[in-house]
A and B are shown apart, each in its own frame.
Chain A
Amino acid sequence: MSHSHEPVARLIGTIKNYGALRALDGVDLMLHRGELLALLGPNGAGKSTAIGLLLGLTRADAGKAELFGRDPQNLEARRRIGVMLQSATLPATLHVGELLRLTASYYPSPRSLAESASLAGIGDLLKRPYAKLSGGQQRRVQFAMALCGRPELLFLDEPTVGMDIDARQALWAAIRRLVGEGCSVVLTTHYLEEAEALADRVCVLARGRVISEGSVDALRARVALKRVRCVTTLAPELLATWPEVSEVRQEGERVWLATAEAESLVRRLLAGDASLRELEVQRAGLAEAFTELTRDAGNEDILQREAA
């Protein structure tokens, strides 16, 4: 009965060490049908390791990785996934159409060449040698290769790196369309607006641990930060010493402040500078939430080390 609620991909208490380095430290992760999960985290947080486990590229030292309830190294499980890795040097002399045909041949009932090409917006590139394409075009070809097998689950590792704004928007539209058709997606990205635009659920990794998991809104709400921007004569060095201020940045002539107590900060600002202008107060975006979360994780770690 509950078959359709079965997770399409799952990590259960996975631990993975590379020598003395613990890349994953007891990570649990679950992905359901038709869901887009964004995996965020600073470099070295364990994102690639988590994906490597789900793809069957490496084995967990403890815990378990599952694709459609099976071992990810099982070929039948992998016939239901599509993959776009962060960097892959594809054969330079092969034409785009040949690369797509080759990849499609691995799958039991792939999309037609024309369908894959039009979904990824590379219909005009099929006859071109891969090496002659721009970086953004190569990424789109890799995206076409990821979706050509009619996968139920797509792994997209930093898919829009090197793309211009138009190409990025087109790729987002294609991803939304695939999700609309019931495809699940695991996305890793450095662009937080990408996660904000696409993800149902965001999972933040830091130092091999899941430090936050939930919807984009829930993640933002977890961080009570607001941003305050204004043009003021008060020196940023002075503002940084105020207890209400958690972060100060100068952006051109404006000052950018992050705070948990926007009301009292604004009151103090206005009292301190009668000439203050262009005041703006905003709820923090995913970017600030993310910085705050990963910094907390860092501090915690430092505290633990100090305590030890």
Chain B
Amino acid sequence: MNATTQSLAVETSSTRMSTARLIGAYLEEIRSECVRYLRAPSFLLPTLLFPTVFYLMFGIFLGKANGPDAPRFFLAAYSTFGVMAPGLFGFGVSLAIERDGGLLLLKRALPMPPAAYLFGKMVMALLSASAIVALLLGMALVLAHVPLTFAQATATFFTSVLGVLPFCAMGLFVGSLIKGQGAPGVINLIYLPMAFLSGLWFPLTILPGFLQQLGPVWPSYHLNQLALNAVGLGQEGTWIHVGVLAIYTAVFIALAARRLRRHG
């Protein structure tokens, strides 16, 4: 009897994680997720280069021809365009590939805290988004001399960085639907048309009326409105867009969770 109680006591102590070790597991997961992508230029370079090069070409060199506010307008648009990528690709492509390659299966079999997996990818997406927006802000201030107040610059930074989250959720959902190496193509088919239809490359007003009315359907439209508010070109309210983005995030997470629970 004595031996039994002792061995039971040993067992509970050997399976209980101390809070410090649990936090450690989260930190290790975050660290691994960031390190593995920082060492993979094929992921990082396009996500950094596309928005910055586009901004340089269309926002700064060619933009001035469209009026004095063009660099300011395109700072918001390309920040939105830029932060969509780490969310959509970081979650969508990596989940699709990790489901295919068996990594997700292994992690589910191992005693990894389930949320740590998503946390790691989310931190990586937030960091990538920070780098993108910081670069764009630097270009706007130094190269294009956009007269942004400190408050406007700060608001632009945080709006865009947090704006990555709905696209993480969207990527998560898409990644739960598709598997394998075809994922980047599928994500691009969502990413690029959505950017175009949300008025990130051209103002929506030059598109046909029907497409203009479709604008508010896309989450990127709402993030762009928030970014325009932040740089000082906003016309509409803030909270309505925040609300729409929050709903998008919640719905995509719920759909992805349901899909992953059923199909793994």
Binding site for B on A (CB under 8 A): 1, 3-4, 55-58, 75-81, 83, 85-94, 98-99, 101-103, 105-109, 129, 149, 155
Contact = CB atoms under 8 A, between A and B. Distances in A.
Interface stretch (B35-43, B64-72, B154-162, B251-259): B35-43
A32 B102 CA distance: 28
Contacts, number: 96
Given A85-B102, A101-B28, A108-B15, A78 B35 contact: no
A105 B29 CA distance: 9
B36 A93 contact: yes
Interface residues on B, range: 35 or more
A78 B35 CA distance: 27
Contacts of B16: 76, 108
Contacts of A105: 21, 24-25, 27-29
Given A57-B264, A129-B39, 12 more contacts: A78-B110, A80-B14, A88-B102, A88-B103, A92-B40, A106-B25, A106-B110, A106-B112, A108-B15, A108-B17, A108-B18, A108-B21
6 contacts: A3-B8, A91-B36, A105-B25, A106-B25, A108-B15, A108-B21
For the complex, would chain A's binding face be called helix, strand, loop or mixed by DSSP majority? Answer: loop
B103 A89 contact: yes
A78 B40 contact: no
B4 A3 contact: yes
B4 A89 contact: no
B250 interface: no
Interface of B: 1, 4, 7-8, 14-18, 21, 24-25, 27-29, 32, 35-37, 39-40, 97-98, 101-103, 105-106, 108-113, 264
B75 to A, nearest CB: 33
Contacts of A88: 101-103, 105-106
A90 B35 contact: no
Nearest to A99: B32
